[in-house]
């Protein structure tokens, strides 16, 4: 999983470096696909329930699961990019949101707060803690900033499949959840909205957008619970 995580981190670096006004989301997909090919990794996104690409690209009010295509990034956009890779049967999964050129103050604040909420959640991944403390920590950071946390899509355990049980809510679900043990691995992935947390799925059967049309950001890492504290696999 460390190896798969490194490939995902490289997909982040390569796509981030390619983001500019005028590039299409399909071109970003090609950049990510080149990294997979170079590292001998397989895609866990391609053909997942029929998904047609190796990354998800979700601009502006799109929360997650956007399909790369002809959309051209433009100055002032924000773009969420979710990447995954399989090495030797083990999965990595991580996402980030970036601005395109100069972005609004609220867009920048949304990106910063969402990333900070992810790290607050990661800090909770310690042996003996209860899993849903992750969601409580994420929610506290997001809501203190005046934003909302998406309820309908959540994080997950990950290993030899991308999506394993249990789920990892990004909010306090009312119960503490399982006790964390050494060797458990989770993908924590807060989706944070400027407005309400209500979501809406487009007719393509994939793209999920905010119901109120306001901006959304998404950050994700794959992290192991170790006797040394949380170990983030999806950073270089
Ligand atoms: Mg992901
Ligand atoms: Mg995930």
* Mean pLDDT, all residues of the chain: 98
Q: Which residues, other chains included, contact 179 with Cβ-Cβ below 8 Å and sequence gap of 6+?
A: 128, 129, 130, 131
For strand 229-232 and strand 208-210, is the pairing parallel, antiparallel, or unpaired? unpaired
- Tens digits of residue pLDDT in 167-206: 999 999 999 999 999 999 999 999 999 999 999 999 999 9
Q: For position 227, what pLDDT does the model report?
A: 98
Pick the CATH number of 2-232 from 3.40.50.1860, 3.90.230.10, 3.30.365.10, 3.40.50.2300: 3.90.230.10
What integer is the mean pLDDT of 130-149? 98
The share of the chain scoring above pLDDT 90, in percent, equals 100
- The per-residue pLDDT for 150 is 98
Alpha carbon of 218 to ligand 2 centroid (Å): 10
Q: What is the pTM of this model?
A: 0.98
Half-sphere exposure of 28 (CA within 13 A, CB side): 33
What is the tens place of the pLDDT at every residue in 94-139? 999 999 999 999 999 999 999 999 999 999 999 999 999 999 999 9
Q: pLDDT digits over 52-105, tens only?
A: 999 999 999 999 999 999 999 999 999 999 999 999 999 999 999 999 999 999
Phi, psi (degrees; rounded to nearest 5) at 226: -125, 170
Q: How far is the CA of 5 from the centre of ligand 1 (A)?
A: 12
| Encoded tokens for 50 | 């029929």
Task: Please tell me the distance between residue 43's alpha carbon and the centre of ligand 1 in angstroms.
Answer: 12
Tell me phi and psi for residue 166, to 5 degrees. Answer: -85, 165
Domain ranges across the chain: 2-232
Residues within 5 A (CB) of ion ligand 1: 82, 93, 95, 220
Q: Give 232 Cα–ligand 2 centroid separation in angstroms.
A: 14
Distance (Å) from CA 83 to ligand 1 centroid:
6
Residue 123 sits at φ, ψ, to 5 deg, of -60, -20
Task: Assign 41 a pLDDT band (cuts: 50, 70, 90).
Answer: very high
């Amino acid at each position: 999983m460390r190896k798969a995580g490194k490939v995902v981190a490289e997909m982040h670096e390569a796509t981030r470096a390619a983001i500019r006004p005028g590039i299409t989301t399909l071109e970003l997909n090609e950049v990510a696909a080149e990294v997979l090919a170079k590292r001998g990794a397989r895609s866990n996104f391609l053909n997942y329930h029929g998904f047609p690409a190796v990354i998800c690209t979700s601009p502006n009010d799109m929360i997650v699961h956007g399909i790369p295509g002809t959309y051209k990034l433009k100055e002032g956009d924000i773009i969420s990019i979710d990447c995954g890779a399989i090495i030797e049967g083990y999965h990595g999964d991580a996402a980030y949101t970036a601005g395109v050129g100069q972005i609004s103050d609220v867009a920048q604040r949304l990106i910063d707060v969402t990333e900070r909420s992810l790290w607050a959640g990661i800090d909770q991944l310690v042996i003996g803690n209860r899993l849903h403390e992750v969601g409580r920590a994420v929610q506290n950071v997001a809501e203190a900033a005046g934003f909302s946390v998406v309820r309908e899509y959540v994080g997950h355990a990950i290993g030899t499949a991308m999506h394993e049980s249990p789920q990892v809510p990004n909010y306090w679900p009312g119960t503490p959840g399982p006790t964390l043990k050494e060797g458990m691995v989770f993908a924590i992935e807060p989706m944070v909205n400027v407005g309400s947390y209500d979501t809406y799925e487009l007719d393509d059967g994939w793209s999920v957008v905010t119901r109120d049309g306001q901006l959304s950001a998404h950050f994700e890492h794959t992290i192991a619970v170790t006797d040394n504290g949380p170990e983030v696999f999806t950073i270089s």
